[in-house]
Structure 1
């Protein structure tokens, strides 16, 4: 059997990235396996910093009926489109990511996963426009550089702005301070600005799906530690509440997968271990962390009543496995490691520069 070797160039790049890591990197703190914070769906009508949990207004995890109807209607408006934006059965549906370093690491892994997903409509094109070092504050101006990079990635994928119809938005800000009352309202305003800018740039944008940060308890830097990682969920909750109160607004904003979990606390549907973060900073996802989020994204788009456009119209004869990562080729794993190291080191260096 022919062996698949990892190119020497990749090995050298990985070694170089390790050697060039900033001296401030201390390493993940694997002792912080839980914080005692309660995920929003579990918190429900309970309070955190005076604010109710739950995914929807009133501490509820049940979406209001009218909001569900508008979300389903938005999904039905998503159709394959030509480069000019006209409905075309041979066209494309672009699902784009917008976010920071963690987002691009996770979504780029999801792109690989989705290629194996027999549930996915082949006309759905995933474009990763999230970027290392591009936090929420960096996207909140129409002339901000990340939007130019997004244009470039869209063009490189062979798609146009008129074909972008859905966005996965996962954001945070580096070096937060001032506690909940300073951080969450600022982040929510930035998220709302990003949605407004995207609406102006993408004329056929119908849906934006939001997700919070993953567990940040292992972090040893101030990029976005706990409780700020947890609190990103409240900014998302407030953004969704705006959509609930404005049913006629475009785009419809809803929840994607809820990613935050309290580390390894028992009784949770998701466990986030120290092996799921990069050992250098405890913040960015490792290969296993990227895979966990990719699986959650795949499961969400394969089953959500708000993402019917994602799924192939005809029944498939087989389905992808849900419980494990379907790719085992050494080269692909090496590439994922390289992506994670590149994103993590570059973003950590940028964050340290900002914090100085």
Structure 2
């Protein structure tokens, strides 16, 4: 009888144990930390300013933005040896990091592969490796296998080469950094990102632009999982300071992050999408929130997402890539990429006609005043007959205005008023029978 009872107890323990070992903490749905995008000119701990960029701003400083735009304009399709090839060349956009980056990047690739209106020369490729963070990526003396045995074969699998990688998005951290003190923890991660940049140049000789994201909310982390101390808040929150600080180092002239001139040691770097929000307490800036039951895998330790959560992050990536002024120059379709389409058409299926009224360049659209308070006027340099749609989206890709027209008369004002417009960067989209022209403007 005693033996039977022991057997039953053991069986019960075996059945119960998995649930004990895999339990996200859904009750921890807020940490009361303020996201960088909401903190802005405020200070964390009274000393460390918020915002994504220097001065508490969420927008690229003008000079760094101008440099990024110039570099983006120089991106061209390359063959496998790195030579410009406008017919068969590619612009490889690689996602890098561990599984927390790779899982969402796979969903992003699915979106890119089925979307219309994107650069047909551009190919998004997953170059992530699960369970391997910055500490492995930068230790090339011991872990040279990481790049040459694992990452480069991922590129080559798609009949591409390291010479075609020109842009990367990275989201990572380091298993070696477990000193959970501020600012030591984010500074250590920023140091590793800085050390990574020359390695990227060596591995991908034509890489020009690198965009970095911090982690999403870590408050749901499972205390029984490995790396709990690093993931649980404030660890995930602090990774966003690491991203902010390494970018600020480049902007303020750190020679080890020089991205131009004879002393170049780094690609140009900036923020990818900012994905942290305080659990269920949505960001004021963008409305983002993270729901434990919907977004986080119950056995994922609080750092692996459900398919719903992965798609949420992938959608953030896609919206960011379409609307960021530096990314959309090579991410979106346009006449300059026409030769990459084997059918001689734009990627969205529209026949390219340089001379018809349906194709309008951004230079042919006048928008004034800019900056403005949400009330402004537009006019086109030439007339258009046929369906026309005017929309305005904010920096998160959310549509805030839409109107349709039967025609445009050249140089005739169209007045637009955005209701309750908050300060920030906006994008005017003019759709003329399927051909879309975008113009950026600022609301103060």
Whole-angstrom distance in 1 between the partners of 2:140 and 2:68: 26
Residue of structure 1 aligned with 2:72, choices 65, 72, 75: 75
Deviation at 1:132, TM superposition (A): 1.0
Larger fraction in helix: 1
Structure 2 residue aligned with 1:234: 241
Query: What are the residue-to-residue correspondences of 1:97-136 with 2, within 5 Å?
Result: 97-136=95-134
1:132-174 Cα offsets, whole Å, 9 max, x none, are 1111111112242321211110111111111010010101224
Partner residue in 1 for 2:170: 169
- Alignment of 1:258 with 2:293, yes or no, is no
- Structure 1 residues 211 and 82, CA gap change in structure 2 (3 angstroms): same
For residue 124 of structure 2, give the secondary structure of its aligned residue in structure 1: strand
**Counterpart of 2:54?**
57
Q: Which runs of 5+ in 1 are unaligned?
A: 1-18, 324-356
Task: Map Cα deviations across residues 100-153 of structure 1 (whole Å, 9 max, x no partner).
Answer: 110010101111111111122121111111111111111112242321211110
- Aligned to 1:81, the other structure's residue is in SS state coil
Does 2:317 correspond to 1:297?
yes
Q: Distance in 2 between matches of 1:112 and 1:196?
A: 30
Residue 252 of structure 2, aligned match among 242, 245, 252? 245
The one-character-per-residue Cα deviations of 1:262-301 (angstroms, maximum 9, x if unpaired) are: 1111454111101211101222111111000111111111
- 2:296 alignment counterpart: 277
Tell me which moved more, 240-249 or 118-127: 240-249
Match of 2:30 among 27, 34, 37: 34
Please give the per-residue CA displacement for 1:214-254, whole angstroms capped at 9, x wherever unaligned. Answer: 11111113151111101111110011112212363541101
Of stretches 79-88 and 217-226 in structure 1, the one that deviates more from structure 2 is: 217-226
Q: Distance in 2 between matches of 1:253 and 1:35?
A: 29
SS where residue 254 of structure 1 aligns?
Answer: strand
Partners in 1 of 2:179 and 2:84 — Cα distance?
Answer: 46
CA spacing shift, 1:22–1:103, aligned 2, 3 Å: farther
What's the offset of the Cα at 1:83?
0.8
Change in 2 beyond 3 A, CA 1:317/1:67: same
Instruction: Specify which structure has the bigger relative contact order, considering alpha-carbon pairs within 8 angstroms and separated by 6 or more residues.
Output: 1
* Pair 1:193 & 2:195 matched: yes
Within 5 Å, which residues of 2 pair with 1:308-327?
308-314=329-335, 316=348
Instruction: Give 1:28 shift.
Output: 0.7
- With the length of structure 1 as denominator, give the TM-score of the two structures: 0.80
Deviation at 1:58, TM superposition (A): 2.0
Deviation at 1:182, TM superposition (A): 2.5
The number of aligned residues is 301
Tell me which moved more, 212-221 or 56-65: 56-65
Give the stretch that moved more between structures: 140-149 or 279-288. Answer: 140-149
Shift of 1:317: 6.4
RMSD over equivalenced CA pairs, Å: 2.1
What residue is the counterpart of 2:383 in the other structure?
Answer: none
Residue 150 of structure 1 corresponds to 151
CA distance in 2, matches of 1:57, 1:66: 12
What SS does structure 2 have at the residue aligned with 1:180? coil
Runs of 4+ in 1 over 6 A off after TM superposition: 21-24
Asked if 2 retains the 8 angstrom alpha-carbon contact of 1:167 and 1:209, the reply is yes
Please tell me whether residue 84 in structure 1 is matched to residue 81 in structure 2: yes
User: Does structure 1 residue 286 correspond to structure 2 residue 306?
Assistant: yes
State the shift of 1:24 in Å.
6.6
